Structure 1
Amino acid sequence: MEIYDQLRPNCDKLLEAYHTNLDDVQKLQETLIRDILPSVTDELNLTPDATEWAEEWLSDTATIFRIARRNQYTKSFTLEAIRKNLVWRLDNLWPPSNPIPMSNVHCIPPDIALDPFGRPIGVLQFFETVRRDLQQMGKANLTFQRAGLDIMTWAVREVIPRYPGMLAGVFILNYSWAHSGMWNVVKRILPTSCLEQSLLPIR
């Protein structure tokens, strides 16, 4: 119940923000598709297929809302962030490739389990995977901590700005004293919004 109570306020706040700003976000999408997309199409000399792929992403209201929310709904900042993100996606994700199999990532089918608020659940076997890899490389425990810190730093700088608001909550399970110590270091570089959603349940 304690974890539920921690997640509930954030869920309610998110839903309220979504409905409050929905009209503005949809108007923003119209601007993006009408003005920004043609500009990017000309700049990058996109093919019709690439333009259609880009428009599909710009039409994703939930994604545009999350980026707008990250930029505090300031139109100029949001448009700039989305344009940069769009160019990055076209440079790095187009054309789409087949998904890379990741044995340490598991997405639980929605018909099997959802979180208490009806959201999907994913499981990432992070620490154990890093431990095995470093063991094979003959690295020390200090390197393990450094690897975790580097990955978290990369996530904060590269992943979160391009996929903001994708995680409602992160539960770190089966952690040891070493992981707990590493968390004390990592949490110093995480924004408050991430800390509020990162939970280490007491065993």
Structure 2
Amino acid sequence: MEIMDVINEILGQSRYLGSYPYFATVKQGKSEGGAIAIVVDGDRSAVILFSRGEPTGAIYKDRQGALYGDSAVLKISDQDDYELYAVDRKAVEIVVAHCRVFNRGHFPHNLSADIPEIGAKRRMPGVLSLSIVQNDLQQSGVRVSIRKGRQVIASDVTTGDGKVSFRLINGPYDVVVASRTGETYSFLVDFNGKRSELIIELGGMTDD
């Protein structure tokens, strides 16, 4: 049984809370021990799982396949309305084991209800869009990873038009590109939310 089939079975036995905009889901679900928010739009679907009022898991699925956890969050849109269900927390945790989100800052505009630290530097989330080009040709199927120090915080493969997007907090990152010929390229990007689109030429980098 696929994970979406499991979710549908759980929702069939759960209490429907209503339809809410993205930002209202955490407010409505925080009083529940567990909750699941889901949106289905044609071939595209997104699921956010809440445990004790906090977003702990995510799934994103479209015609290209399914993403889980942190990778799924990067595809979630804050423009959707979600169908919200109150779900037994144990059932939520079973699903979250397969799609846990480790960096909740990846959620658009920080869906987490955590209170921000007073005096801390404001961290602005945004989307960094990259176009990978080599010899004037868009590079599809290329693995692109985002690193912070030694830690890989996000990784994805470019689409047919050579593009890939990541949801990030402002700050410096290493962008590592593994070409289809096996070569590895590394670029330093200082993401501030204002410059969100870059063309990376394997051999150089330019602003879009």
Normalised TM-score (structure 1):
0.23
Normalised TM-score (structure 2):
0.23
* Higher strand proportion (structure 1 or 2): 2
* Higher helix proportion (structure 1 or 2): 1
